[in-house]
Amino acid sequence: MSPKTVTDQEILPGSRVLVTGASGLLGRSVAQKLVDLGYEVTTLQRSSSSIDGAQEVRGSLSDPEAVTRAVEGQHAIIHMAAKVSVSGEREEFVEVNIRGTERLLEAAWSAGVDNVLHVSSPSVAHGGSSLVGEGAGAADPEHAEGNYAQTKAEAELIAETYGSAGMNVLIIRPHLIWGPGDGQLTHRIVARARSGRLPILGSGAALVDTLYIDNAVEAFVAGLRRLPAIHGQRLVLTNGEPRPIGELLMGIAEAGGAKRPRMRVAPAIAKAAGLAVEKIWASASRVTEMPGDGEPPMTKFLAEQLSTAHWFDQRRTRESLDWTPSVSVDQGLEKLSEHVRRTGGVL
């Protein structure tokens, strides 16, 4: 490694950085920001990332040859690629989230890549109860709920194993990213509100922390830069502005051009219905194309997320990253609304 680009304290512009999963909003945005700052960026993903100035390796984490080519000569890796869904066969999650992480880190170790920023999720340490001002507890595959959370928890433990062996590993768990261009949370909230299928569970008063996309990008760039000095940590990443979940859903729906959701459902009923829907959806999805966004309208995990508090102490995150959010939740809603007006309703 060149001392001009990587030191014991920082990974500087000019360093070679691999970003996996750069076809998604967060990965694409982080990779483009790194290019703009002067990093030499390579991306690994199945479809084109459309990032000006980055080198592409087209392939998946299931392809050992593509993974080997992608990691060769890198100073650092930001590992974002994952199977993200509230439904689906467990084997699909295992192949990407567990085996894919194993292939990537094994190849990185063999290639002498010293620095890895592993992107995880707060759900890896969430067993369904409320989280109030929590930090980043240890990943717990046994008690994490759903295939996504369980396999991401196992992937995080794999990353920590490499950290214990001498690799610089920093784990960041972003929570509920939203904003313009987001095809996950933002799209689903707005699409379901537009169709009248977005419920408010119970009173909607449970406090929930979220993360605006611009803040996520800035934080990940800060994490990469400071990785040699702060490795070995687990950091939950949010705006640090807990809001009632009902207020957030209504705000994002309105900013996206939809009417405020009016349907209210008791949490216990939603959880019971979610369990039943999961079973029906899993069986039906094997033989037919599912409607809408391909996700079930409710699952037990989703019902818990919409009815229990989950917000996090951000003091350690901000101190470690030397970062604070630049866009508040209210400013983010304004930006989303402006984007939707400017694009004629496109999120």
Active site residues: 148
Q: Are 136 and 235 in contact (CB under 8 A)?
A: yes
Q: Are 193 and 9 in contact (CB under 8 A)?
A: no
Q: Which two tokens stand for residue 62?
A: 């299931």
d(CA 132, CA 274): 24
Q: Which two tokens stand for residue 133?
A: 């001002």
Backbone phi, psi, residue 268, to 5°: -65, -40
Q: Is 42 helix (H, G, I), strand (E, B) or coil?
A: strand
Identity of residue 21: G
Q: How far is CA 19 from the centre of its chain?
A: 14
Residues 6+ apart with CB under 8 A from 279: none
d(CA 30, CA 297): 30
Nearest one of 172, 175, 178, 181 to 226, comparing CA atoms: 172
Q: Are 150 and 317 in contact (CB under 8 A)?
A: no
Q: Where are the alpha helices (DSSP H) in the chain?
A: 25-37, 64-71, 90-93, 100-111, 146-164, 185-194, 213-230, 245-255, 267-285, 300-305, 315-321, 329-342
Identity of residue 37: L
Give the single-character DSSP code of 122. G
Chain length of the chain: 347
Nearest one of 65, 68, 171, 195 to 121, comparing CA atoms: 171
